[in-house]
Structure 1
Amino acid sequence: MAFYGVGLNSRVKELNLEFKMTLKQKGGIGIRTLGKIFNRMDFNGNKKLDFEEFKEALAYYGIFPSVVDLQALMKYYDVDEDGNVSYEEFLRGLRDPLNEDRKALVEKAFAIMDKDGSGVIQVDDIKDIYDVSFNEDYQQGIKTKEEVLEDFLDGFDGLKGDNDGQVTHQEWMDYYSDLSMSVPSDEYFALMMKQVWGIEQE
């Protein structure tokens, strides 16, 4: 989140928590529910919420922040800083932190990928893990093995990713925090991590 000043940062967190709690009371914050809510807020149908739509959306749920607070909250949601809130940004803004069980699994997966322990996953870390031979661009000679591996890593960059062919620990955690919203139970999340990374939940 951008730096607005300690007081305003705290106010943004309060407003967002109030928004999340209101949405939960009105029907939950699951992926399907949030999709319907977002579409209801998107008055002009352009798949984004502009400032006025965002303001009206909050008002609909009984939240009436000051102009300064609203601008700060909008900035919190608007990760790519285009002046609008996309559906992906909307989900990201409302996501809950990973609980301890899920966080432990995600941390283990990162350790598996980060073979050299540098805190950043790079091509050299995954070249013996990820098999590029099934990639169509590689088969057709359009991309080299390194380019395919970089594309794979860029998939973990998230909304504010820089597509630099590597994944930081924060990018990894953000990716799985976003993904976690669409996973209904801890048991299913653990099964997914086991199938993908071979990790057993302790």
Structure 2
Amino acid sequence: MLPQQDFESVWRVVDENNDGVIDYGEFMRSFIGEMNETRRAVVRKVYRKLDPRKCGFVNLLDLQKLYRARNHPLVANGNVSESELLRQMKESFAQLCHTDARNISYVEFTEYYEGVSLTVPTDADFINMMRNCWGV
């Protein structure tokens, strides 16, 4: 068992915004780390494409319409259907949305891809997946 003092020390580090709750992004950054800059750059590029008016959010329905699920490696390999991949993506974004489940902010989009990034072994594979799925 972790002594209370040690627990509180860890909690203060992980709870970055001191709101008393550890959200998905805080957990990922603290225990797993962040994406490297190469991957982060392609995520930024995709988000800029999705938010050309720079309003700060992307509607989840618009995001689903623009996403090319058939080009995702898991769909191309036959491991998952297009509809299943879209359903998983929608559920993941719904869990990440801090304010409005219909709109995805840049931070939420990045948090999603930080999780995806963990499953992709190389930067080249990650970049190819992003390009193929988002057309950038």
- TM bracket, shorter-chain basis: 0.5 to 0.7
Pick from 35, 45, 50 the counterpart of residue 113 of structure 1: 50
Per-residue deviation at 1:115? 3.3
Match of 1:190 among 122, 127, 136: 127
CA deviations on 1:46-68 (whole Å, 9 max, x unpaired) are xxxxxx3xx2xxxxxxxxx870x
Letter in 2 for 1:155: S
In the other structure, the counterpart of 2:22 is 79
**Aligned CA distance change for structure 1 residues 181 and 165 (closer, same or farther; 3 Å):** same
Cα shift at 1:116 = 2.4
After TM superposition, give the deviation of residue 108 of structure 1 in Å: 0.7
Q: Which one of the candidate residues 35, 52, 67 is aligned to 1:98?
A: 35
Q: Does 1:172 align with 2:109?
A: yes
**Matched residue type, 1:79:** I
Change in Cα spacing, 1:104 to 1:171, as seen in structure 2 (3 Å) is same
Q: Which has the higher helix share?
A: 2
| Structure of higher RCO (CA pairs closer than 8 Å, 6+ residues apart) | 2
Q: TM-score, normalised by structure 2?
A: 0.61
The one-letter code matched in structure 1 to 2:121 is: P
Mapped partners of 2:111, 2:131: distance in 1: 19
**Alignment map for 1:39-78 (pairs within 5 Å):** 52=1, 55=2, 67=5, 69-74=6-11, 76=14
Q: Which runs of 5+ in 1 are unaligned?
A: 1-51, 56-64, 81-85, 136-147
Q: Is the 8 A contact 1:122 1:167 kept in 2?
A: yes
Moved over 6 A (4+): none
Q: CA RMSD in A?
A: 3.9
Unaligned runs of 5+ in 2: 16-20, 69-81
Map Cα deviations across residues 139-193 of structure 1 (whole Å, 9 max, x no partner).
xxxxxxxxx9xx83x6325557455211111111111112212211111111111
Structure exhibiting the larger radius of gyration computed from Cα positions: 1
Matched residues, number: 115
| 2:124 equivalent to 1:181 | no
Alpha-carbon distance in structure 1 between the residues aligned to 2:133 and 2:112? 15
